[in-house]
Amino acid sequence: MSLFKKAHLGTFLISLFFISSCTVIETEYVFSDSKYEVKEREFLLDFQKLEKQLPVRVSYPVGEGQFPIIVFSHGNGSEGSMYKGFTDKWASHGYVVIQPTHMDSSSLGFQMNRNSMREMYQQMLFVTDSRRQDMSFILDSLIEIEQLIPELKNKLDQDEIIAAGHSMGAATAMLVSGMTLVNPMDGYKETSDEKRFDALLMISDPTNMALMPPEPWKGVRIPTFISTGTNDFSDVGSGRMSAPFTYQIPENLLQSSSPHHFVLIEGADHYMGGLICRTDVPGPFQYEELRIASNMSVVFLDAYVKNNRKALRSLRYGNLSVQTKGKASHSLR
């Protein structure tokens, strides 16, 4: 996002205060129907630097004009195709969603080393470094992706790029958005010099990872969205203990360095009952929770990527608790 566009968005947000004084304020979030037919393609990209063939799934809208790009990073052990409730939803609203399958996918035969904490942390840093490079490699390969999908020729808006992910994928998205990972065993820090992402979108919470710094939000200086749930727990550590979400900006902080939007959904778990990431979980499927999370993520995208005025107003003035009859809440820091 150019400095001009950032300044323009800031001015536009400030202007909402004055607009609201003479117009009807949006008090409900705009959950609009799908706008585009969605197609998908799967292929391999030759990632010579890492000496591998990177599996990629692309969900894209059928239509004219240019479309913003979302690069989506899956959770540990999962794969790019396991998140259609989000990825295809975004595509139906006019976003090209590129979904790499990282080296730690069980579909590629990967197994996490849980013999010792030291070995596990070293392996996790190796994995996160590989994931970080996958995200940047995708952006380096946009011309090739257009060639592989002729329908997208000249339709990828490279000025509007979003980093997105779930669980470890959310940590991956944070890493390429300014956060630093730290090995608690030796203090080794992992960072990224990637500057091409304009917004950060996280599904579920990555901050129970031991590699997370104490205040992970501090390094991220682009508009951020996170959707989590009161039952959002995942298996972490060598003992596979359950850990709750911890990604929270302090209550006494009136404003962070960039807008951080938090959606908390009552009862939502780490896998939406098996609708995302993994299918080998007890369930039941959490269709309502998925609908709320995906709809709110579209509102966020439309507000900060497409500068949609209704979406921006609803994020500022809407009451998600009232709209969902107490099922979910939204806050802004």
Domains annotated on the chain, with CATH: 26-332 (3.40.50.1820)
> What tens digit of pLDDT does each residue of 290-317 get?
999 999 999 999 999 999 999 999 998 9
Q: How far is C-alpha 65 from the geometric centre of its chain's CA atoms?
A: 24
Least confident of 45-54, 76-85, 256-265: 256-265
With cut-offs at 50, 70 and 90, classify the pLDDT of residue 178. Answer: confident
> What tens digit of pLDDT does each residue of 251-279 get?
554 455 678 898 999 999 999 999 999 99
Residue 90's SS3 state is helix
- Cβ contact 83:99 at 8 Å: yes
- Does the pLDDT of residue 119 top 90, yes or no? no
Q: What is the pLDDT of residue 183?
A: 56
CA distance 4 to 16: 19
The 10 Å CB-count burial string (b at 16+, else e) for 4-32 is: eeeeebeeebeebeeeeeeeeebeebbee
The pTM of this model reads 0.85
Strand 96-100 and strand 37-47: the pairing is unpaired
Q: Which residues sit opposite 37 in a β-bridge?
A: 62
Q: Supply the mean pLDDT for the chain.
A: 83
Residues 6+ positions from 4 with CB-CB distance below 8 Å: none
With cut-offs at 50, 70 and 90, classify the pLDDT of residue 243. Answer: very low
Residue 254 burial (CB count, 10 A): 7
**Which whole-number Å values give the CA distances from 134 to 74, 99, 120, 157, 209, in the listed order?**
12, 10, 21, 19, 20
With cut-offs at 50, 70 and 90, classify the pLDDT of residue 154. Answer: very high
Q: What is the pLDDT of residue 277?
A: 95
**Alpha-helix residue ranges (DSSP H) falling in 153-217:** 168-175
Q: What is the pLDDT of residue 18?
A: 41
CA distance 5 to 254: 24
Find the helix or strand (DSSP H, E) in which 13 lies. helix 3-20
**Which whole-number Å values give the CA distances from 42 to 53, 98, 133, 236, in the listed order?**
12, 10, 20, 31
Q: What is the pLDDT of residue 12?
A: 45
